[in-house]
Structure 1
Amino acid sequence: MAAVIAHRGFAGSAPENTVAALAGAIEAGADAVELDVRPAACGTPVVFHDDRLEGDEPRDGRPLTDREGLVCDQPLERIRGAEVLESGRTVPTLVEVLEALPSTAGVNVELKSPGTPDRRPGEALSAGDRGERRRLWAPFVERVLADCRGFEGDLLFSSFCEGALAALRAAGGGEAAVLPGPDLEAGLEIARRYDCEAIHPPIAAVVGTPSAADPGVDLVAVAREEGRAVNAWAATSWLQFDDLERAGVDGVIAEYPGLGGWS
């Protein structure tokens, strides 16, 4: 059976990326949680998906929090005081989340931003650009690794950005996963370059699922040959979960609890 990975703490049923959502997802039976990290102005990793506190786009018509501005420009306490989706829950630091999770939990830490909008996601970098991108990401990645050091559960670090994975490997970080962009071959190239333990494709890139629009490469088959796990995102129904299991993925990043185990 595929592992259940709670996307932002089952964001379809709880206020995304909050301590309550992430800890609650493990209590609800998730094998692991997926969360997003980016730096506050001081460099502290906070658990937040979008570039802006109000959200890059609304969630069902609501702003993501009751505050505005680029996260990377905000003082830490202003971010920590931002209320998420009128839930009474606020934006946590990475340390606060890890302290709230049991040591049995798996955690997928997605590296969203080094503190700049210039990220080049989904792009396999030229040899000349890799060093620059690695140096750009290094301070934040090293801070994330330091904040994770005391956590005893399984950790997996993922990113759309090659620079983040390069900095992770240079820092001697843990297991890595690439999130491929539309160019799946570029994603596989990045996975090979950094010997990533996993690859995280969107559902539409998984051959054998009804939503798959001929991706041109069978990621699951290639990953199997190369010894990489495949965790696909983001299932919103048990039918999608079932399709992904049948396609042979190792894990399903899911929006809701209870989607697995019906087949």
Structure 2
Amino acid sequence: MRRPAVIAHRGYAGIAPENTVAAVERAAAYDETAMIEIDVQPAACGTPVVVHDERLEGVRDGRPLTDATGLVRDTSLEALRETRVLGTDATIPTLADVLDAVPERVGVTVELKRPGTGSLRVGEALEPAERDRRRDAWRPFVERVVADCDAFGGKLLFSSFCEGAIAALRDVTTAYAAAPLVRDDPAAGLEIARRYDCEAIHPPRSAIRGPESAAAAAGVSDDGSAIDVLERAHDEGRAVTVWTVTNWVQFDALAAAGVDGVIADYPGLGRVVSDR
């Protein structure tokens, strides 16, 4: 069985404070880590910062997201850099801080999460006029993200649930790989991948048909009526990286199905895949 590439979800969010320098440093230390996935959105000044949620308050697995409140996009960079994450001493970093902490042998998947506005069109293949509006809304932030990433010497891939973000990226540069993130509509994800000649597509694990009965227990779809996103993407020459894997049963089922990569919350899930 071929072993998929392992992408550390927010720096292996299951074992470290997600999207922090501490998390990416720890994730990079594992030999199995091919890439580290992070989320970016702007601080009030427009500087790209690495944080997932739109708001600073909230709860993740019983822990407060941060010790602050308010919208990330309305919060100063100085305040964000002092904001502690998930009850730890780790704070919200800038994108530049995170990239400085990643060795060049490890790649980075940069999810374009929000452009600094509250209005998003998530998971949709847009009509031309709306596509242009959304591209223009994303472009200033994407330009700043790309400028920070240009200093990184390792492999980079950009992803987003929003077509406007992918469109803006392709306008700003064609130097980096791109992948639409799929939520509920694999057909829309495949269409976006075609429009921008994306190198990959990132569907949820439930969108992948499993080759054996273990797939259903692993949360992998075996619905014959569904689009076979894995087959179609591979036929078109695109890699398929699946989110989010939390245990070895899921990992094995997805490896058997033939995915190219898994975005995982924990390290070690595929360590002995060839023995199981």
Q: Normalising TM by the smaller chain, what interval? A: over 0.9
Deviation at 1:181, TM superposition (A): 2.2
| Counterpart for residue 28 of structure 1 | 30
1:246 aligns with 2:256: yes
Runs of at least 4 residues off by over 3 Å: none
**26-35 or 211-220: which moved more?**
211-220
| Counterpart for residue 175 of structure 1 | 177
What is the 5 A alignment of 1:1-263?
A: 1-29=3-31, 30-55=33-58, 58-173=59-174, 174-208=176-210, 209-210=215-216, 211-213=219-221, 214=223, 216-263=226-273
Which one-letter code corresponds to 1:93 in the other structure? T
SS of alignment partner, residue 150 of structure 1: coil
SS of alignment partner, residue 192 of structure 1: helix
SS of alignment partner, residue 195 of structure 1: coil
CA distance in 2: counterparts of 1:181 and 1:3, whole angstroms:
21
User: Which sections of structure 1, spanning at least 5 residues, go unmatched?
Assistant: none
Percent identity, aligned pairs only? 59
CA distance in 2: counterparts of 1:212 and 1:255, whole angstroms:
17
**100-109 or 173-182: which moved more?**
173-182
Q: Is the 8 A contact 2:220 2:253 kept in 1?
A: no
Alignment RMSD: 1.0
Deviation at 1:261, TM superposition (A): 2.6
Q: Is the 8 A contact 1:107 1:154 kept in 2?
A: yes
Deviation at 1:212, TM superposition (A): 3.1
SS of alignment partner, residue 242 of structure 1: helix
CA distance in 1: counterparts of 2:251 and 2:127, whole angstroms:
36
Deviation at 1:62, TM superposition (A): 1.8
CA deviation string 1:34-77 (max 9, x = no partner): 0000000100000000001124xx11222100000000000001
Q: Is the 8 A contact 2:21 2:97 kept in 1?
A: yes
Deviation at 1:234, TM superposition (A): 0.8
CA distance in 2: counterparts of 1:138 and 1:10, whole angstroms:
29
TM-score of the pair, normalised by structure 2 = 0.93
CA deviation string 1:133-152 (max 9, x = no partner): 10000000000000001101
CA distance in 2: counterparts of 1:101 and 1:185, whole angstroms:
34
Deviation at 1:26, TM superposition (A): 1.1
Deviation at 1:21, TM superposition (A): 0.5
CA distance in 2: counterparts of 1:54 and 1:18, whole angstroms:
17
Aligned pairs, number: 261
CA distance in 2: counterparts of 1:32 and 1:172, whole angstroms:
21
Deviation at 1:159, TM superposition (A): 0.1
CA distance in 2: counterparts of 1:60 and 1:133, whole angstroms:
33
CA distance in 2: counterparts of 1:28 and 1:91, whole angstroms:
22
Which one-letter code corresponds to 1:181 in the other structure? R
SS of alignment partner, residue 140 of structure 1: helix
SS of alignment partner, residue 206 of structure 2: helix
CA deviation string 1:101-153 (max 9, x = no partner): 10111100000000012111101100111111100000000000000011010
Deviation at 1:11, TM superposition (A): 0.2
Q: Is the 8 A contact 1:123 1:181 kept in 2?
A: no
